[in-house]
Structure 1
Amino acid sequence: MDEFRARRVVDALRDRGVNAHLLRGTTEFGVRVSLPGGREAEWDNDGTAGLEAQVMLDGMLVGYVPVIAGSEDFDEAQVVDAIARTDYDKPIATQRAVAPAAPPLTREGGVFRRFLDGFRYR
């Protein structure tokens, strides 16, 4: 995922009440979703075409989301919906029929967002 797409996905997820953050790798960007119990799901930061995630706890792999079939052709709205519908309660995560409803979260960075990110927005 490129940086701008990852940022738009994070913003859309936060608008849906998902505690998502921009995940900055060495060369790739992705989405990090904070989960209960200190776990974090790291979505699509490995440069592959399909949408998948690793669920980490204190740097240890505790679960994963297998590649979602057909996700290599997803647009941003479909990526947001797939991440929002994921149920992380089991080591091998599954997709719910509908995403749980939650109040929107504020976007990260606030007033200083453009300063912190170096004015790279399109």
Structure 2
Amino acid sequence: MDENRARRVVDALRDRGINAHLLRAGVGQFGVRVSLPGGREAEWDTDGTAGLEAQVMRDGMLVGFVPRIEGSAEFDEAQVVDAIARTDYEQPEARQRPVAPPPAKPLPREGGLFRRFLDGFRYR
């Protein structure tokens, strides 16, 4: 996922009340990190492949995963946001709920007033 797309997905998830963050996985590698209960984090789409999948980590150890979602290589940003929102992380192998839970109170966007300054004015 490119940086700007990952940032837009994070913003859309935070607008739905999901505690998402831009994940910098390496040089030129970006994804979406979703904070989960119990100190776990889901790291979405950091491996550079076309499909959408995630690893669920706790303290740097793999504790679960989201298998590649069928057809996700063709998803637009709204479909990516919906797929992440519909994911149920309760089992080690996460599954997709038929429908996303209702949106919670929106979370503020990361960076606030200084967002563009801190990121080097790389996006609009």
Q: Which TM class, normalised by the smaller chain length?
A: over 0.9
Written as runs of structure 1 = structure 2, the 5 A alignment for 1:22-61 is 22-26=22-26, 27-61=28-62
Matched residue type, 1:111: L
Matched residue type, 1:119: F
Residue 52 of structure 2: SS of its match in structure 1?
coil
Match of 1:78 in 2: 79
Instruction: Give ranges in structure 1 of 5+ residues lacking alignment.
Output: none
Match of 1:115 in 2: 117
Match of 1:105 in 2: 107
Distance in 1 of aligned mates of 2:73 and 2:123: 24
Percent of aligned pairs sharing the same letter: 82
Measured on the aligned residues, the alpha-carbon RMSD in Å equals 0.6
Q: Following TM superposition, by how much is the alpha carbon of 1:64 offset from its aligned partner in structure 2, in angstroms?
A: 0.1
Instruction: Give ranges in structure 2 of 5+ residues lacking alignment.
Output: none
What's the TM-score, normalizing by structure 2? 0.96
Residue 4 of structure 1: SS of its match in structure 2?
helix
Residue 101 of structure 2: SS of its match in structure 1?
coil
Q: Following TM superposition, by how much is the alpha carbon of 1:99 offset from its aligned partner in structure 2, in angstroms?
A: 1.4
Distance in 2 of aligned mates of 1:111 and 1:98: 34
Distance in 2 of aligned mates of 1:104 and 1:84: 13
Distance in 2 of aligned mates of 1:23 and 1:110: 17
1:81-110 CA-partner distances (Å, limit 9, x unpaired): 000000000000001112112111110000
1:45-87 CA-partner distances (Å, limit 9, x unpaired): 1000000000000000000000000000000000000000000
Distance in 1 of aligned mates of 2:84 and 2:51: 13
Distance in 2 of aligned mates of 1:94 and 1:103: 24
Q: Following TM superposition, by how much is the alpha carbon of 1:17 offset from its aligned partner in structure 2, in angstroms?
A: 0.8
Residue 113 of structure 1: SS of its match in structure 2?
helix
